[in-house]
Amino acid sequence: MKQLVLVAAPASRNSIEALLHEQTAGRWPRWVTFFPLHGSNKAVNDAELNEFAQNTDADILASSSVISGWVAQNNSNVRRFKGDELKGEVVRLLEQDGETWSSKLKALQGLSGAKLLNAQEWRAQFAKVDPDIGPRVAKALIAQLRVVRLSELAELLVAGGAYDYNVYFLGNDPHSGDSALVTPLAAHLSPKLFEASKLPALPQGAAVRLFSDGGWSGGETANRIKCITTPCPNKTCHVGPSHTLHVSLGFITKKAEAFITHIAKETCTAGKVADLTFSCSNVLDPGAGPGLGLAFADNDVNRFVDPRNPKAFHDFCKKVGDSIDVNRSLGTHGIASTVLFEHSLPKALLPLLMFGGAQVTAADGSQFLWKALLDSQHVQNPAANNPNHHCAACRLK
């Protein structure tokens, strides 16, 4: 998002900051700054803003009560607003660029891999659990959601060099989200895209690229590497000692990055492939900030939820998550992800976003059934895996 500079009277600045704080879950300072005014001396303020505007690419939104009209006439990046119009415009721009929690909520509409349920009911539950911080927890979660569209993911995956064969993995899940990637990937690729179990006979020295939307713990990616480099009767061909394998991921955590690096070295040392590399342009660090998971890595958001207790956001989600699934209260390996794909909901996503039906304790001690924000029957009631898709020895079976 382009930087915004606001020019407002000191008396109105606090109310503007409070509005931005609420709309962005505390993240507004990364996009918005305030221009320092010199008291009520309008002539000095005009001159200094005019000089500043001529040396910045930022958009400047100014209150007409503190800046004269000639400054805006002299600079195309300066616009003046009356009264509360300034507030409305800055919120509109943040909303337009998807940086408010309400715009993030709108982005959840039209997902192909999940259905957006009643967002108002979902948010109301948080106040039941804790009337003080609960409403801010709901906004903090929504504000951090990132919806990755299929077209964006396909472009991330195909970036890089040329390969002789491009491969995707469906696995034994009959409704795998990976199947949704086939068409957008094929649109970007030449030569043809192959399903991993149906590779043609590979010539000596062939370079193969395997696609994966995300590596959260690294376990599934490691198992796919082991599968595609192991001969078995369920595959027409496998990647062997004379071939190179490159794994292209859309997203990866630091934990998965370290694990896949280990697997790559182990696979090459064992002589299963001539070389094994991987790439990913989106590396996520669950250990950032307090080190409690991706959703809680942003200290600005933690302070928005509770300025006195930086762990309050995490503790609230953990408490509700324990009621939903004590073994995965914050998603796979406690990753607490807020990244979801248009075509699927990763297991690393926070459970309180996608699982309903559990009994949760309210602040008054009563119990109520938790309602999910997103509904995917594939996630909640998955079809039985195809038992014959993999051979008996395969880790993916």
Same domain? 155 vs 268: yes
Question: pTM for the whole thing?
Answer: 0.93
Nearest to 296, CA basis, from 350, 336, 326: 336
Same domain? 275 vs 177: yes
Query: Is the CB of residue 153 less than 8 Å from the CB of residue 184?
Result: yes
205 phi-psi bin (left φ>0, alpha ψ -120 to 50, beta other): left
* Residue 106 covered by a domain: no
pLDDT of residue 47 exceeding 70, the answer is yes
Place of tokens 């030569």: 191
Q: Work out the number of other CB atoms within 10 angstroms of the CB of residue 76.
A: 9
What does the pLDDT read at residue 174?
65
Give me the residues paired with residue 208 across strands.
165, 245
* Residue 352 covered by a domain: yes
CA distance 215 to 247: 11
Q: 245 is written with which tokens? A: 């394998």
Same domain? 270 vs 161: yes
Same domain? 372 vs 301: yes
* Residue 173 covered by a domain: yes
For the chain, the domain total comes to 3
Same domain? 161 vs 277: yes
| Omega within 30 of 0 (cis) for the link into 191 | yes
Q: Taking residues 101-128, what's their average pLDDT?
A: 95
pLDDT in tens, 167-204: 998 877 766 667 888 889 999 887 789 999 999 999 99
* Residue 169 covered by a domain: yes
Among residues 284, 314, 335, the one where a domain terminates is 284
pLDDT of residue 3 exceeding 70, the answer is yes
pLDDT in tens, 306-330: 999 999 999 999 999 999 999 999 9
Confidence tier at 36 by pLDDT (50, 70, 90): very high
Task: Domain of residue 138: give its range.
Answer: 114-148+286-380
- What one-character DSSP code corresponds to residue 349? B
**CA geometry: angle at 186 spanning 182 and 187, to 5°?**
120
